[in-house]
Structure 1
């Protein structure tokens, strides 16, 4: 007989543990979803029940299980060029502005973009395709897309760069031929090395600062839906600290962080520009050096 659903006390224990480790807040109405995901970990590990699994997970011996547990409770469905208008803006208006700033002597030939909560890699690879489509305008520029996620399993999938037809259905046919290998027998499409080399992946919890130089643009989309206000504020502080003065923050419609974006100016729906240099600001491209 299979395990029943989590009872209220068990749900509260797991809820508090998940919140402590990731900042993700799971509503009580998600008890069935959480039960199903934890049940798979219980069965896979041969634990007696939810309580046995919780005891091991929260013990010193459960450190190795933590990554798999967080993988199990993280929602990861995404696809290429989700919210197409934002990628159109990146490839046109945003790139044109950065090139104009370089010509005016205001920045180096260097672009760094962060995909925060990148899941299976479709978002950072979409960003990389936008850059690749503009290489004729970005000759001799240093280009880097950083994709981070809390899930080691998702990052492994992202590094492989293999996607099914559904994930790339928004990619124009010409770009599919240019940036993906032909379909395999099981209809998977592999990202070409020309795109992979523009992206690096690393595991990261958004609740802590990212140990990287400042970014010219940060994407945070469809990630914070399960975070409560306190956790969202902490994530936003970390994002703004990582965003260069004059940089852009691209958000999803479900983030619920709009009132937290002090120092940013709304330039279009879901796109904000950092116009105030606060004490949290890291050294920007301008202060690190002029044209190379």
Structure 2
């Protein structure tokens, strides 16, 4: 089997990449109706997870030079995944146009997640058959698409939270250990400190690990405990704070929508308008006119 450099594709590949802690997240798109292949020649203690966003396509999976699967996927089934333990070289031969998100991460990232309360007591995964439909993984991949479109403007808080959520899901869905129960939330001082940090970073330019360290917790324990204490994730809580702050500025009436967008941590006015409309049910301009 010939060796190929990582992500060696036929002409027409579009690629964008994000990094979050131990995770590397890459969107790979090929619009041409042609054969393509790529390889990961590294042999290390790591996983590769690929989730398909665009149906249909057929692919063959080779691990360590041996053919492991020949998957023919049906139209209308975005969310099919392929999870591979990369202790040997991995090669994927793909037919027809495709659009997928690839997560590459060392096993130590799962070992750290497995040490959190409520997680299986092992970082080992039992990969499902290639082509398995997993809506939760598909949802994470789709949620990261805006960040992958503009990696330089991606919110570290959001991206780090999504990779934590992905690791927790993989452990629960495909982990090899039993899952103990989770109890309790944040202590009052931890909740206060976490909210202080989030309010000070309305643009989301802070990582879950940074807030967790201030609360003297691991990232996974913090994220789980924050949701138990507040009823929402840190990213959802921050989104509400940004909109509440935007409402206060809209009531003042002396700032333009672009100025309010910048003051509340949004990348631009359209981003602000979309987020405001989604949570409030109307545009910021319409809301201000009603005050």
TM tier, smaller: under 0.3
TM-score in terms of structure 2 length = 0.27
- Normalising by structure 1, we get a TM-score of 0.27
Higher RCO structure (Cα 8 Å, ≥6 apart) = 1
